[in-house]
Structure 1
Amino acid sequence: MHDQHGPSAEMTALASLDWSLLRAFAAVMRHGSLSSAARALDLTQPTLGRQIRTLEEALGEALFDRVPSGLRANARALALLSQAEALDQAAAELSAGLMGNPDAPSGTVRLSSSEIIGTRVLVPILGGLAMEHPEIEIELSISNFQENLLRRDADIAVRLDPPDQDDVIAQRVGEIEVGMFASRAYLRRHGVPSSLADLARHRLVGPDRDKRTMTNILARRGMDFLPKIFVFRSDSRLAQEAAVRAGIGIGPIRTFEVEDDPDLVRVLPQGFVERLPVWVMAHPDMRHARRLRVVYDAVVAGFRQRFK
């Protein structure tokens, strides 16, 4: 009878391979390219490429499609990823047990977040985590676009949108308030808008191509015409904030960024109030990988404390 609790045939087959080959495979999948994975493993790119080819020969099938931009994981690679990462993590935990505290979580955890939240909220949380768990290595992908957790583009993500994949683990950890702000210099030159409709005569700062959040906010207020008159457009939240500070125009800023800032003035504080829910999400493997659980719990606790 098949033991449902024993290792799978794929896991057994992978375990019989050279550990370095599995480590190479997991690194390429995690980093997305040979060059990035080689830097992470402190190997040359040709050496890592040879290890991937050796692994494919041992398995008797290709794991990556060779495309002009590099390697692209095929369906077989995606199917094997969780088993390979489990073995890679087991090796890391064995090493930690031999070299130090066997109970210490160790290994790499990849997180994804937007630039403002990532740099101003998430990194300070990770700073405390690093002191408590120095064996855990952190990769932080800063992007305003959502990465696919089930495809393992990231292990953990912090987002302002609710989960759109049924299998991910997700917790709502607070709210971020968004308001419209202007510099004092701008208001001296152009005056203070008296109503939401009055914004149409002002110079506005907003997104370029990524119009999801801001356009939705304005549309709910009957102001979907405003994106057409943005005089400064950028998908970088930092650039938008800098443009507002420079007096270019009025723009949306998360209020926690500018608390007690004497150079910025919130306009229409009663007419324009938007609260965005903050979600922390993780790949389902988080339940079984201690390093992921430790990081996930720290991020959830940190955000709840910050935006309680």
Structure 2
Amino acid sequence: MEWKRSAFDWNQARAFLVTAEEGSLSAAARALGLTQPTLSRQVSSLEEALGVVLFERTSRALLLTQPGLELLAHFRTMGDAATSISLAATGQSQAVTGHVLISATNGMATFYLPPILKKLRKTAPDLQIEIIASNELSDLRRREADIAIRHSRPKDETLFAKRLRDTKAHLFASKEYLDEVGRPESLADLEKLTFVGFDQPEQRLGLMASRGVNLTTANFNFSTSSVTLTLELVRQGFGVGILPVEIGADYPELENPSSAFEPISIGTWLVAHRELKTNLRIRVVFDLLAEGIG
């Protein structure tokens, strides 16, 4: 694969990178503020310059080809470098000031944000960060937050959304609780246990039934929308809870009561206003969140 230096065009590289991350030309065009034909031409020009096909175009979606997958990591590195160069050139990486309001779920704010905020403090020590730790969605259009971390893609196309890594949630229970009630030998045995969590259990029973566990509201003696409280109730032996795998695995007193239970996939989206592109302090926080979570 040979790419002449004179043929390099950062706009084409950025078009490929955003298209790969967004999953479609239409979404990438919205994210970059371009028309879809313009974006499509940039991607095609990059393919021509590289001499490879980057996307397999189907009737429903764009799929990265093997060369596209191999090049994606390199282009992401270029994108990160471009942001760093921009900050360094303006001398603002240590002079970013102002207030940024982040909205995140209770669990995300507690277990994921602190190490990222520690790095942010070193990168931009003069920033004032306010965090809304709530499972209620903040309305970015009404300026209830500058950046939101959500588990579903926003429907408002005027917002900028970046998909981060998916995580998995699984069943966890304390060893003490399982010693007391007995460890289930089948999915059906889970139906005899007590569960905690689920702020509205009746709306979650279908999710459990789809995984072969037919529960009723009688299985739930303690319900809460708080991940931190669910964790503590599970640790203290109140019953079985559903927790992100990386959180539950941090506590040696917990174990997975059923390896046959199908994990629940949890998507994560980072959402901001379109002014992300021009507001330096929001961009700095957004990029660090994307790096730390993604």
**Which band: TM-score by shorter chain?**
0.5 to 0.7
Q: Which amino acid aligns with 2:278?
A: H
Q: How many residues were matched structurally?
A: 205
The answer to whether the 8 A contact 1:205-1:233 is kept is yes
Q: Which amino acid aligns with 1:302?
A: G
For the residues of structure 2 that align with 1:210 and 1:109, how far apart are their CA atoms? 35
**Secondary structure at the residue paired with 2:269?**
strand
1:287 corresponds to 2:277: yes
For the residues of structure 2 that align with 1:108 and 1:140, how far apart are their CA atoms? 11
1:262 corresponds to 2:252: yes
For the residues of structure 2 that align with 1:137 and 1:210, how far apart are their CA atoms? 38
- Judged with a 3 Å threshold, the aligned counterparts in structure 2 of structure 1 residues 210 and 158 are, in CA distance, closer, same or farther, namely farther
1:189 corresponds to 2:180: yes
Q: Superposition RMSD on alpha carbons, in Å?
A: 2.4
Match runs of 1:53-132 below 5 Å: 104-132=95-123
For the residues of structure 1 that align with 2:114 and 2:265, how far apart are their CA atoms? 22
1:205 shift after superposition: 1.0
- Judged with a 3 Å threshold, the aligned counterparts in structure 2 of structure 1 residues 262 and 203 are, in CA distance, closer, same or farther, namely same
1:135 corresponds to 2:126: yes
1:253 shift after superposition: 1.2
**Secondary structure at the residue paired with 2:163?**
strand
For the residues of structure 1 that align with 2:201 and 2:104, how far apart are their CA atoms? 15
1:177 corresponds to 2:172: no
The answer to whether the 8 A contact 1:180-1:267 is kept is yes
- Structure 2 counterpart of 1:28: none
**Secondary structure at the residue paired with 2:225?**
coil
- Judged with a 3 Å threshold, the aligned counterparts in structure 2 of structure 1 residues 256 and 118 are, in CA distance, closer, same or farther, namely same
Per-residue displacement from partner, 1:144-187 (whole Å, max 9, x unpaired)? 11111111110101111222222111111101210101111111
Match runs of 1:132-171 below 5 Å: 132-171=123-162
Per-residue displacement from partner, 1:20-53 (whole Å, max 9, x unpaired)? xxxxxxxxxxxxxxxxxxxxxxxxxxxxxxxxxx
Per-residue displacement from partner, 1:223-274 (whole Å, max 9, x unpaired)? 4644442121112111111111111111111111132532111121232311
1:123 shift after superposition: 2.2
- Judged with a 3 Å threshold, the aligned counterparts in structure 2 of structure 1 residues 102 and 275 are, in CA distance, closer, same or farther, namely closer
- Unaligned segments of structure 2, at least 5 residues: 1-89
Match of 1:248 among 238, 244, 253: 238
1:273 corresponds to 2:263: yes
For the residues of structure 2 that align with 1:260 and 1:140, how far apart are their CA atoms? 24
For the residues of structure 1 that align with 2:175 and 2:205, how far apart are their CA atoms? 25
1:132 shift after superposition: 1.3
For the residues of structure 2 that align with 1:225 and 1:215, how far apart are their CA atoms? 6
- Judged with a 3 Å threshold, the aligned counterparts in structure 2 of structure 1 residues 179 and 246 are, in CA distance, closer, same or farther, namely same
Q: State the TM-score, normalized to the length of structure 2.
A: 0.64
Match of 2:210 among 213, 220, 228: 220
Q: Which amino acid aligns with 1:259?
A: A
- Structure 2 counterpart of 1:84: none
For the residues of structure 1 that align with 2:153 and 2:206, how far apart are their CA atoms? 15
Bigger mean CA offset, 189-198 vs 176-185: 189-198
- Judged with a 3 Å threshold, the aligned counterparts in structure 2 of structure 1 residues 178 and 211 are, in CA distance, closer, same or farther, namely farther
Q: State the TM-score, normalized to the length of structure 1.
A: 0.61
The answer to whether the 8 A contact 1:210-1:235 is kept is no
- Judged with a 3 Å threshold, the aligned counterparts in structure 2 of structure 1 residues 270 and 215 are, in CA distance, closer, same or farther, namely same
Match runs of 1:23-42 below 5 Å: none
Per-residue displacement from partner, 1:64-112 (whole Å, max 9, x unpaired)? xxxxxxxxxxxxxxxxxxxxxxxxxxxxxxxxx9xx9698221100000
**Secondary structure at the residue paired with 2:173?**
strand
1:289 shift after superposition: 0.7
The answer to whether the 8 A contact 2:94-2:123 is kept is no
For the residues of structure 2 that align with 1:147 and 1:174, how far apart are their CA atoms? 21
